[in-house]
Structure 1
Amino acid sequence: MLRVLFVGDVYGQPGRKLLGQHLPGLRPEFDFIIVNGENAAGGFGLHREAAAAIVAAGAGCITLGNHAWHHKDVFSLMLDEQQFPIVRPLNYADPGTPGVGWRSFDVKTASGGTERLTVVNLLGRVFMEAVANPFQAMDDLLARDDLGTVFVDLHAEATSEKAALAWHLDGRVAAVIGTHTHVPTADTRILPGGTAFQTDAGFTGPHRSIIGADPEGPIQKFLTERPHRFSVAGGPAELNAVRLELESNRALSAERYRYVEEG
């Protein structure tokens, strides 16, 4: 059995700070930790400082999303596979896209055995940028027979698209957990074929914010209908995650996890 923790989108310095403070205490409970670093660098993308902080906190894999290319740092980070185990979205149409869309890990379990875990990152297409079809990309990938237990981070806007992909993959992967909206959903479940699903894991970042941003920027944008600069909010932070027990490419349990700093 694999005990896996998936941490939702880390947002800016407040998210990185809380991750560094809180995740090491959780680390002994899990065999492997996956962290979405999509917004870890000032709310947009991933740079070297953010990637190093996520790995230092205990992450065994970093997934990304639609802001994958926001910082030039990410290109060199993807070349350093030993130090920065990054997985960017699989379904970029260009076969020359830097990095990899999936990565397999041989994970030592609490019982002393070793289990293969494959982490996949996908981008949705509804209300998002133009990318290749994530359903077809996963069908193609699952034609392989060496993936072991498969975990999918689906970075997408539409709840319907996330649910549709989970049902499409039910029984063929162990978990499909959504990211991108930064709001944790209360629909955690195991589908009939054994695939764990949650529409969105939520985010790890400023608690007194509008999905990570200081409220003033988004409020002014809605009031004036004009662009306004968004800044990362301050104050206490929250960490949202999903706890999973996986075995033989099936989910045994799935549970939401949330921690909010006092202050």
Structure 2
Amino acid sequence: MRVLFIGDVFGQPGRRVLGAQLPTLRGQADFVIVNMENAAGGFGLHREAADAALKAGVHCITLGNHAWHHKDVYVMMQDEGTYPIVRPLNYSDPGTPGVGWRTFNVKTAAGTEKLTVVNLLGRVFMEALANPFRAMDELLERNDLGTVFVDFHAEATSEKQAMGWHLAGRVAAVIGTHTHVPTADTRILEGGTAYQTDAGLTGPHHSVIGSGRDGPIQKFLTERPHRYGVAEGGPAELNGVFVQIEGGRATGIERYRYVEEG
């Protein structure tokens, strides 16, 4: 099984480059997972973005700390047959809408294989949710998950690396999201777990992690809050990883990056 994971889609530029490039990339993977928690103007997911992604060939949508920014997501989570959305697993409230993991039957050249996609939210410099390490330990007590692929949406690289080692040999992949800059630590950990600290941004190329440059620069210059918005104009980029999986464990991982001309 070959899985393509695409990092945080940011605003309209991210949606545009995803829609333009995914139909071609789709032929190189059996299953496509895309983090879309910044797809709607940089904050959250709305129906328009989800519909476009699914039309382009996305099989599963993961989220993060902006999961609840748009009311659309509450409605979409109730329509599991249409919207294959996975929000962070480690919300302790049993009444939290949606699901933190979802199992898919993936058609491959060798037949049909079971793949479970999990979304986790980190706690360092983030919201005080339940312990993601304990949440994964509890989930992995199940014996019906098949191959497990984890999107760990977290701020701290140390927390992401710790999760990678915690799950090494127990899941097929741990790929980080949230910080929007692709990292160069792509590797396979002990036991066949593909790992990368951050998959990177799918959005404006000439930006500060997706936002227009002036707002962040002025904040750092003046030490005062400034309004941020999605960077407009110029090329967009798409970042992700391809993971090759055999027998529930990764046998290969490759970074992928595309930048529009102009």
Same-fold call, TM cutoff 0.5? yes
- Equivalent position to 2:173, from 169, 175, 197: 175
What amino acid sits opposite 1:262 in the alignment? Answer: E
What residue in structure 1 maps to residue 19 of structure 2? 20
Deviation per CA, 1:167-203: give whole Å up to 9, x if none.
Answer: 0111110000000000000000001111010000001
| Pairing 1:211-250 to 2, within 5 Å after superposition | 211-234=209-232, 235-250=234-249
| Pairing 1:101-116 to 2, within 5 Å after superposition | 101-111=100-110, 113-116=111-114
Cα distance in 1 for residues equivalent to 2:91 and 2:223:
32
What residue in structure 1 maps to residue 187 of structure 2? 189
Asked if 2 retains the 8 angstrom alpha-carbon contact of 1:149 and 1:247, the reply is: no
What residue in structure 1 maps to residue 87 of structure 2? 88
What amino acid sits opposite 1:87 in the alignment? Answer: V
After TM superposition, the runs of 4+ consecutive aligned structure 1 residues lying more than 3 A away are none
What residue in structure 2 maps to residue 134 of structure 1? 132
Task: Count residues in correspondence.
Answer: 261
Cα distance in 1 for residues equivalent to 2:223 and 2:145:
47
Cα distance in 1 for residues equivalent to 2:218 and 2:55:
37
Asked if 2 retains the 8 angstrom alpha-carbon contact of 1:172 and 1:249, the reply is: no
Matched residue SS, 2:127: coil
Cα distance in 2 for residues equivalent to 1:88 and 1:247:
26
Cα distance in 2 for residues equivalent to 1:54 and 1:203:
16
What amino acid sits opposite 1:81 in the alignment? Answer: E
List gaps (5 residues or longer) in structure 2: none
Cα distance in 2 for residues equivalent to 1:167 and 1:32:
24
What residue in structure 2 maps to residue 35 of structure 1? 34
Deviation per CA, 1:221-245: give whole Å up to 9, x if none.
Answer: 1111111111111211000000000
Asked if 2 retains the 8 angstrom alpha-carbon contact of 1:65 and 1:123, the reply is: yes
Cα distance in 2 for residues equivalent to 1:220 and 1:95:
42
What residue in structure 1 maps to residue 66 of structure 2? 67
Deviates more, 1:227-236 or 1:59-68: 227-236
Matched residue SS, 1:243: strand
Q: Report the alpha carbon displacement of residue 110 of structure 1 after superposing the two structures with TM.
A: 2.2
Deviates more, 1:221-230 or 1:124-133: 221-230
List gaps (5 residues or longer) in structure 1: none
Deviation per CA, 1:59-99: give whole Å up to 9, x if none.
Answer: 10000000000011100011111221000000011111000
Cα distance in 2 for residues equivalent to 1:179 and 1:50:
18
Deviation per CA, 1:6-62: give whole Å up to 9, x if none.
Answer: 000000000000000000011111100000001000000000011111111111000
What amino acid sits opposite 1:215 in the alignment? Answer: R
What amino acid sits opposite 1:65 in the alignment? Answer: G
What residue in structure 1 maps to residue 3 of structure 2? 4
What residue in structure 1 maps to residue 77 of structure 2? 78
Cα distance in 2 for residues equivalent to 1:241 and 1:39:
15
Matched residue SS, 1:25: helix
| Identical pairs, percent | 76
